[in-house]
Structure 1
Amino acid sequence: MMNDSKARYGSITRFFHWSMAILVGWQFLKFFDRINNGEHWVGETLVPWHISIGSLLLVLIVLRLGWAVKEKGNRPEHESIIGVLAKIGHGLLYAALVLMPVTGICYMVGNGYGLSAFNLEVIAKGEEVSWLINIGNLHSYIAWGLLFLVAGHIGMAFIHQFIIKDGTLKRMM
């Protein structure tokens, strides 16, 4: 089943969820780049893909948002306060997933580095643009926020699975 239903998320929604989960996890490896100035296997092998993966995530989140709007009425729902909190949490996750690549691009372009993704020049190198740098400087702060949101999201999935036992996790598998 490609489309969502009240009982379960469809294959397209699950594809977006799990592919983005893997890619966001990969992006979090950038935190390890700060250890010993990136001179270890994580910093040397995985982190150089940070900008390309971030660019891919921007495309995926735009597509995912479009899909979510299309499927809004079909999705499984939680009633009570849990449903309200889930909607707020998901809204914050979506906002952070949009803001991360946007602020990353602002940082790169604002500092005059341009933007290349998967060895393709997307935006040419240029002059520094101070207002873009200011926006780009939010990237790290939003990354920390996203890390906490993802941890909360995973934690709630386990709470639903093992404490509430309402089948929420199964709907996304």
Structure 2
Amino acid sequence: MPWRDTPLRYGLVSRALHWSMALLFAWQFAGMAIRLTVGRSPLTAFMVGTHAPLGTLLLLLVLLRGAWGLLNLGRRPGHGPGAVGRLANLGHLALYGLMLVVPLLALLRQYGSGRAFAPFGVPLMPGFEGRIEALVAPANAAHGLLAWTLLALVGGHVLMVLVHRFLWRDDVLSRMAGRAGGESRAAPLPQRAPLPAGAETASS
């Protein structure tokens, strides 16, 4: 199984980052959903108690994934030409942007609160007396809203994967979930028939 990306498939490192982050985000949003629906309970306390350290871990994974993506930028599968390809690029940029901004806002709030923070026992912020409202207020206003916006984008991302799989019947899903090896047997995405002159080619 190749560890680097290729024009046909994502490699082992990209897949590990993608699916580990997907699981962590699912846990984070499940915890918030339980908090909203169940209220105070031992399960709520446990899941919400993991929210801050796992959010910090997610921020680290986002940075690693972004760096790895830049290193493999010329090797990895593209989103295709046309309007659909451009929208896919914009959607992925929005996902990466929110995955970076949402935990950063939470860390700013944590620092501004003056409370010490040691995720997984690693001292990250020593804490201090007082409070920096200029750091706390933006996170209070935007962290939750942007987090739910991120969830909506993730839902759209999953929906488009299903559209590719069952409506357009192309090879997008197998890039990240199928065989990572065997590129010699893998066919590229089918090219749709060209549209009349002046129309956009919708290929993903």
TM-score range, shorter chain: over 0.9
Amino acid at match of 2:77: P
Q: How does 1:52-67 map to 2 (within 5 A)?
A: 52-67=53-68
What residue number does 1:149 align with?
A: 153
Amino acid at match of 2:118: S
What residue number does 1:124 align with?
A: 126
Q: Are the aligned partners of 1:51 and 1:116 in contact in 2 as well (CA < 8 Å)? A: no
Q: 92-101 or 29-38: which moved more? A: 29-38
Amino acid at match of 1:103: L
What residue number does 1:7 align with?
A: 8
Q: Determine the C-alpha separation between the residues in 1 that align with 2:33 and 2:109.
A: 17
Identity %: 33
- Which of 36, 39, 43 in structure 2 is aligned with 1:37? 39
Flag the 1:119–1:35 CA change in 2: closer, same or farther, 3 A: farther
Q: Determine the C-alpha separation between the residues in 2 that align with 1:33 and 1:125.
A: 27
Cα RMSD (Å) of the superposition?
1.4
Deviation at 1:31, TM superposition (A): 2.9
Q: 112-121 or 76-85: which moved more? A: 112-121
Deviation at 1:47, TM superposition (A): 2.1
Q: How does 1:1-173 map to 2 (within 5 A)?
A: 1-29=2-30, 30-39=32-41, 41=43, 43-77=44-78, 78-126=80-128, 127-137=130-140, 138-173=142-177
**Which secondary structure does the structure 2 equivalent of 1:73 belong to?**
coil
Task: Return the structure number with greater relative CO, CA threshold 8 A, min gap 6.
Answer: 2
Q: Determine the C-alpha separation between the residues in 1 that align with 2:94 and 2:170.
A: 23
Q: 48-57 or 103-112: which moved more? A: 103-112
Q: How many residues align?
A: 172
TM-score (norm. length: structure 2):
0.80
Q: Determine the C-alpha separation between the residues in 2 that align with 1:85 and 1:40.
A: 42
TM-score (norm. length: structure 1):
0.93
Q: Determine the C-alpha separation between the residues in 1 that align with 2:169 and 2:96.
A: 25
- Segments of structure 2 that go 5 or more residues without pairing to the other structure are 178-204
Flag the 1:38–1:150 CA change in 2: closer, same or farther, 3 A: farther
Q: Are the aligned partners of 1:32 and 1:38 in contact in 2 as well (CA < 8 Å)? A: no
**Higher strand content, 1 or 2:** 1
Q: 109-118 or 47-56: which moved more? A: 109-118
Which of 1 and 2 has greater Rg? Answer: 2
Q: Are the aligned partners of 1:110 and 1:136 in contact in 2 as well (CA < 8 Å)? A: no
Q: Determine the C-alpha separation between the residues in 2 that align with 1:40 and 1:80.
A: 50
4+ residue segments displaced more than 6 Å: none
Q: Determine the C-alpha separation between the residues in 1 that align with 2:89 and 2:116.
A: 36
